[in-house]
Structure 1
Amino acid sequence: MKITTPRLTQHVLTVEGRTGEPVLFVHGNVSSASFWRDSMAALPDGFRPLAADLRGFGETDPEPVDASRGLRDFSDDLLELVDELRLDGAHLVGWSLGGGVVMQMLRDRPAAIRSVTLVNPISPYGFGGTEGPDGKLTHADGTGSGAGAVNPDFLERLRAGDTSDESPTSPLSVFRASYVKHPVPDEDFYVRSMLTTRVGEANYPGDAVTTAEWPGVAPGAHGVLNAAAPTRFRLDDLPDVEPKPPILWIRGADDVIVSDTSLFDLAHLGALGVVPGSPGTPAQPMVTQTRNVLDRYGRYREVVLDDCGHSPHLEHPADFQRLLAGHIKEA
């Protein structure tokens, strides 16, 4: 269904005939609400599943992303959706970038949220450009993060709608190597979802900015990856929200995207010699940073799934569905 709010028109998936407590699923970067198809269908009775395409993904309007607002263009869109559909008391489920969006929603309107489930979320200190458990900026301008960190060949193949596996930078190859640890059924379905991403400076990845400091890129003013940069998205005060709905943090033990040794972190790639010239910049400890913030939040549980990559809901669906169902029933 299409829902129009003052900000934009959003495409929202649901399951026909389901009623009860609303559960709003928020997808990650280079994907769409379709990634939640099976998780939505598996919700227990008494819960109403919904999954929205974020702006610039799926069938939602490709409105530009103002990176100066961090992830609030996304979170404010969804809070308007909550208001339009009268979803107060919703359970929120956010994966990867969507985990950051859900945390921003929690930060801005905790009273509207009944529970939160974070699935391999980005760090509360953004993606790239920080070090240490407290998210200290390596450089004041966020060098090491932002749109310039993306492989340009991947962008071109994404823009062209490439469905082949002829290159390691094709969307299908990236899905196999990074989104999941082992093959999953219906991978063509998920690649088609990836290809709905609007590529450009206003959306994904955003405008690239160069800098004299290694590794030579810093956040620009527009687009998704610049909005997730640590100079724009930072939730030091998340533990201060009241009320505090319970948080379940589910993550795959072998995630290569969100990790203390992420293969998408330029600092870690520098340590590996993949990006030459590293002056010794330490990797961003993404998982440690999330745990640092949630330890201060207090009301949370962390569950690590072995032999699992970035997408527990696709790789270990039965475990994921059991954990999610238990969490929302207890909230």
Structure 2
Amino acid sequence: MVATLFDGITQRSVTTDRLTANVLERPGQGDAETVVFIHGNVSSSLFWQPTLLALPDDIRGIAIDLRGFGDSQTLPVDATRGLRDYSDDVASVLEELGIDRAHFVGWSMGAGVTFQYLLDHGPSVQTLTVIAPVSPYGFGGTVGENGRPLTTDGAGTGGGGTNPDFVARLEARDTSDEGPTSPRIVYRTTYVKHPENLPYEDIWVESMLSTKTGPGNYPGDSVPSESWPGFAAGSRGILNTMSPVHFNVTGIVDLESKPPILWVRGVDDAIVGDNSFYDLNVLGKIGAIPGWPGDEVAPSQPMILQTRAVLEQYQAHGGEYRELALDDCGHSPHLEYPEVFDEALHAHIGVRERVAE
């Protein structure tokens, strides 16, 4: 078993009326402000440790394992609520910890959780940082900057789109680099662009392997569809939470309380992009999935275009945002370019202003 906890990071369980959650913490000194970190899919709070340790001494950092990940309790996910099960869990943990206002950072699916948290608890969010966020219209199944749904049932989205061998390898806790569906190879080929340059790979693989599988967790269930590719979003489990049938956080543009948003992304992200290799319509177009009906019926989802359009509306309605796009970078800017990311985050949460005072 790989030792996964970094020096300087503490770990504890927090029991709320919703779940028992695992929390990592880098304590701050004095009357410290708090930054809350929310991990993405097939990962855990472990991925945040370098970022936690890089925080200034007067900042408290906590990273929460979502239900069914890391060392948090395994509970079924009601996908019909979008990502709100996770958002409500986070709110309950923060209430138990006595944190009523904080900065929030979310990565990938976790960015979607923070968008949902912003919708439900806007005044408690000081700033929001989203890294490689899922589109505000969900993952897959929409077209255009306004996120028009391609089908009413979310065909091609949700739990039915996962490679079953990858799921089996998660269940078997496979740490090998044998075959394209091993978690280690998935990390090397889709989480980051240049894995050969990065430390802690064994810890990141352990984090991925903490994902709990099954119809109520990863990947979730699916239902038949008359539209290509023959399945649609189910009502349970992780991937269905992000189907456009269940998930839409574009309502952030109408919030009265609009904290500043920092959007950080890798230009070469293989997971979240305008031609994502996790978008089944993209895979159909290149022939990886047979029977693709063509661009008129099943176009790729312009994820970057959609996120930018919503954030532009957010700004037009009184908010502010900054987009930081990193060249030669994949899905994990905080791992791939930590100094650049940390500097941007610290400036965003106001560290420089406090130092100047």
**With structure 2 as the length reference, what TM-score do the two structures score?**
0.91
Deviation string, structure 1 residues 76-121 (Cα, Å, up to 9, x no partner): 0001112111222200000000000000000111001100000001
Query: Please, which of 43, 54, 79 is the counterpart of residue 31 of structure 1?
Result: 43
Q: Which residue of 2 aligns with 1:15?
A: 26
Q: Structure 1 residues 92, 17: CA separation in 2 closer, same or farther (over 3 Å shift)?
A: closer
Equivalent-residue separation in structure 2 for 1:126 and 1:315 (angstroms): 25
Deviation string, structure 1 residues 164-216 (Cα, Å, up to 9, x no partner): 01110000000000000001211111000000000100111111222221011
Query: Please, which of 257, 270, 274 is the counterpart of residue 243 of structure 1?
Result: 257
- Higher mean C-alpha displacement, 212-221 vs 254-263: 212-221
Of the two, which has the highest radius of gyration? 2
The alignment status of 1:284 with 2:301, answered yes or no, reads yes
Q: Which residue of 1 aligns with 2:4?
A: none
The alignment status of 1:2 with 2:13, answered yes or no, reads yes
Query: Please, which of 119, 134, 141 is the counterpart of residue 107 of structure 1?
Result: 119
The alignment status of 1:62 with 2:62, answered yes or no, reads no
Where do 1:221-240 residues align within 5 Å? 221-240=235-254
Q: Which residue of 2 aligns with 1:188?
A: 202
- 1:318 match: secondary structure: helix
Gaps of 5+ in 2: 1-11
Q: Which residue of 1 aligns with 2:104?
A: 92
Gaps of 5+ in 1: none
Q: Which runs of 4+ in 1 moved over 6 A?
A: none
The alignment status of 1:45 with 2:49, answered yes or no, reads no
Which amino acid is 2:306 matched to? Q
Query: Please, which of 211, 215, 218 is the counterpart of residue 197 of structure 1?
Result: 211
Q: Which residue of 2 aligns with 1:117?
A: 129
Equivalent pairs: percent with the same residue?
53
Equivalent-residue separation in structure 2 for 1:16 and 1:256 (angstroms): 34
Equivalent residues of 1:133, 1:292 under 8 A apart: yes
Deviation at 1:270, TM superposition (A): 1.1
Equivalent-residue separation in structure 1 for 2:117 and 2:321 (angstroms): 17
Equivalent-residue separation in structure 1 for 2:29 and 2:55 (angstroms): 10
Equivalent-residue separation in structure 2 for 1:24 and 1:107 (angstroms): 16
Equivalent residues of 2:153, 2:225 under 8 A apart: no
Q: Which residue of 2 aligns with 1:208?
A: 222
Equivalent residues of 1:8, 1:77 under 8 A apart: yes
Equivalent residues of 2:28, 2:61 under 8 A apart: no
Deviation at 1:45, TM superposition (A): 2.3
- 1:114 match: secondary structure: strand
Q: Which residue of 1 aligns with 2:349?
A: 328
Equivalent-residue separation in structure 2 for 1:17 and 1:23 (angstroms): 10
Equivalent-residue separation in structure 2 for 1:319 and 1:105 (angstroms): 26
- 1:63 match: secondary structure: coil
Deviation string, structure 1 residues 109-152 (Cα, Å, up to 9, x no partner): 10011000000010000111111111111000111100001011
Equivalent residues of 1:18, 1:49 under 8 A apart: no
Q: Which residue of 1 aligns with 2:335?
A: 314
- 1:320 match: secondary structure: helix
Deviation string, structure 1 residues 244-286 (Cα, Å, up to 9, x no partner): 0000000001001000000000011111111111111110011
Equivalent-residue separation in structure 2 for 1:12 and 1:90 (angstroms): 15
- 2:324 match: secondary structure: strand
- 2:48 match: secondary structure: helix
Deviation at 1:11, TM superposition (A): 0.4
- Higher mean C-alpha displacement, 16-25 vs 175-184: 16-25
Which amino acid is 2:299 matched to? P
Deviation at 1:320, TM superposition (A): 0.6
Deviation at 1:16, TM superposition (A): 4.3
**With structure 1 as the length reference, what TM-score do the two structures score?**
0.98
Q: Structure 1 residues 53, 18: CA separation in 2 closer, same or farther (over 3 Å shift)?
A: farther
Q: What is the number of equivalent residue pairs in this alignment?
A: 331
Which amino acid is 1:11 matched to? N
- 1:326 match: secondary structure: helix
Q: Which residue of 2 aligns with 1:162?
A: 174
Which amino acid is 1:208 matched to? S
Q: Which residue of 1 aligns with 2:279?
A: 265
Equivalent residues of 1:27, 1:53 under 8 A apart: yes
Equivalent-residue separation in structure 1 for 2:129 and 2:183 (angstroms): 27
Equivalent-residue separation in structure 1 for 2:29 and 2:205 (angstroms): 27
